[in-house]
Structure 1
Amino acid sequence: MSRMTRRRMMQAMAGGAVVAGSVLPGRASAQEGPIKIGGIFPLTGAGSVFGNQNFQGVEIAVDLINDRGGIGGRKIALFKGDGHTPQAAISETSRLAAREGVRIFTGSSTSAVGMVASQEAERNGAFYWEGMAVANGFTERGFKNVFRVGLDAGGLGRPAPLYIGEALAALMKTQPKDFRIAVIAEDSAFGVDVSSAAIAEAKARGIAVVLHELYSAKTTDLSPLVLKLRSLKPDAIIATQFINDAVLLQRQMKEMRYRPPAFIGTSAGHSTLSFADAIGDDVNGIFSSSYPTDANPASLSAATQADRDEFLKRYQDKYKVVPAVQESLGFVVGMSLIRDVIGKAKGGEAADLREAALAADVPNGAYINGWGMKFDAKGQNTRAFGSVVQWQARRMVSVFPAANKLADPILVPLPGWDAR
């Protein structure tokens, strides 16, 4: 064997050792390099509001863990992948896997992005950790290395009628059996699945559904829907919307002088600071069946309360704004993946991470939103739960369930536009 041939073989072997070392989270030397995580989020385009907020929450988790020494002495390197369309999500997942050697991915803010990014990660033999995509089919594809730490569609849809039945109806001086709701939603998988879950829960509780209407989220005119709602006079509207159509509906209801006694969103467009920025003080009194934005501190462990304080301080210092639902969720996604899966895995291959995820038994109250973590066989976290928040003084405040409640609701029923 020639000297040149031997040199090339040694270089190839050394290169292979670096690639392998770059994904192992064990207690090896820091010379192996950082643990690489690829974040596939819509950072530009229509979904960029949610995508950037989610990514920033993950980023704060990475910063905090790195400042605490990393995992086994190794730092976390977070790579950006702009999944502004499903095709872009596929391309970015493939790019980070091939060019950067990323074998661990997280995302994704929308079901459209999460479905394809997770499929591409599975195809590449990588591990995928989902936070916000809620489509029911996400965990029904038989993938081995894809996990969802966040809610499914039912987790977002059910809390709204639960809250009506257990609290809101009484506050409005009526019985659940006499309560009438209109359910409206944009017509993607997100809107269809979440609104269907809300309707199923409402019917199970004897709450009358007087309307279920789907429309395109790209619409520029919801006035026909407003006219229909005004004629039906529901006690509450349950709406599944993205940011543009959520703002459009509120503006057109105001223009047409129609306001329901209660309005309950289901996260997405109703659980982002951009919603309040767009409609100002008119946001106050609106509810959202949502990911928990916060938890009652009494329900959290001392360590989790410390995490919460660190998150709030770091986020406000870095981004100059108080974090809301998407940011908080991103932080939980990052902490659960890095600390409780990567940090507990025997190695960095997808099979090692899968084993650690399935073995995880993290009690409720271990994360800043009150969640814990325990996966079923399909990769769905059974300790993720939805809550109901209300906009008060242009900030989201948890009002339901008791473990998350921070304040009593206000403006029930909603005053008319002329009374505000």
Structure 2
Amino acid sequence: MADEDYSDVVLPPSLLDTDLYKFSMQQAVLHHFPNVEGTYRFTHRDKDVYFTRECFVRFQRSASQFDKIKLTPEEREWLAKACPYLKPSYLNFLSAYRFKPAQLRLSFEPIPEDVDKDAHGDVKARGNIHIHAVGPWQETILWEVPLMACLSEIYFTTADKDWNYDGQEEQAYEKAKTLLAAGCSFSEFGTRRRRSYRTQDLIMKAILRAQKDSPDAPAKVSGTSNVHFAMKYNVPPMGTIAHEWFMGVGALQGYEHANSTALKLWEEVYNNVLLIALTDTFSTEAFYTDFVRDPHFAQHWTGLRQDSGDPFAYAPRAKAVYERLGVDYRTKTIIFSDALTVDKALALKKQCDELGFKCSFGIGTSLSNDFKKASDGAEKSRALNMVIKLSSVDGKPTVKISDDITKNTGEPETVRRVKGIFRIPITDKDEVIL
């Protein structure tokens, strides 16, 4: 029998083609929660956008080949130098790590209108894709980012081809020039929802060229969250911690003081580095309750990350909390990372300057998936609005409450229970959380 042809698969070029915080959290999981089962689940938020059977089959074939990806000796050597907080024992683990496609549960559910088409083998039949990753948390934690990048690239080369690369590099260059001239230091955060690997590569070239062409600009490109591109372009890999750390800690060790517990456990691994706290896992107000309860965190951690809710309410509220604790907020940094555009970043920078806050920006989809339709250059080609979130640890369901109800995830019963713990109003929308 001839070998099966896998020429159509989409694979990351490297194990490093992911966000830095996946590695930092993986090391923390290995330290504190080895061999705890972790389940991840895919959610596609736009209910009027569908995948096709062709897209699913190609995605399924690609995912089956992820076990070919491994860390090279050169990559390990670079990681050890660029990220000295990654311990040799962890780098040994990462060198031996292989994705296990058997951990994935993938399925395609045709929409009612296309059930018959799908049954007759029509590759254009539309439907929804379901993804679960089940296995030891220290292993399944790495599926999220490359799997979403893979799915996005396949979707935009099968189900939606009404776009092209025309003007992409120039567009990113102009965005970067504008940001740098306005004093907005920023990092590229676009891996998870990039249109393609080629797109992110073009973006990295463009923003670094903009920096080279702006030697007197009051800001700089801080780096990229993508570790592979950080190595390729010799820039700092950027990132610290994500919602899943707080979600997992809450489920495993209790929600009442999950934020402070998560920060404490993180410090035990990282001590004086990677200390930007993500505040909105169970709502930012719930975070501040623990922040005020133990001022050590406000003093020791170098800043906060805003990722949902009203970004313009964030810095004034953070200033009030720091002042209440007697901490000089002007020594702290806010990282804004929620659906940023150039205009929003400029307005937030102006506000932070007026307040005296240091700030920086993590810009994702606006750089790595900002396209127009080829058939109508005035109409936007929508990026996929998708997430893969931790759904359970050790059999216990996890939740994310967020400062934006459209970003809430978790089983409705658990969401309502956790909202009760944090005295967050329960709404009718809690009944339909995915």
Same fold by TM (over 0.5)?
no
> For the pair shown, which has the larger CA radius of gyration, 1 or 2?
1
Question: What is the TM-score normalised by the length of structure 1?
Answer: 0.27
Question: What is the TM-score normalised by the length of structure 2?
Answer: 0.27
- Structure having greater relative contact order (Cα 8 Å, sep ≥ 6): 2
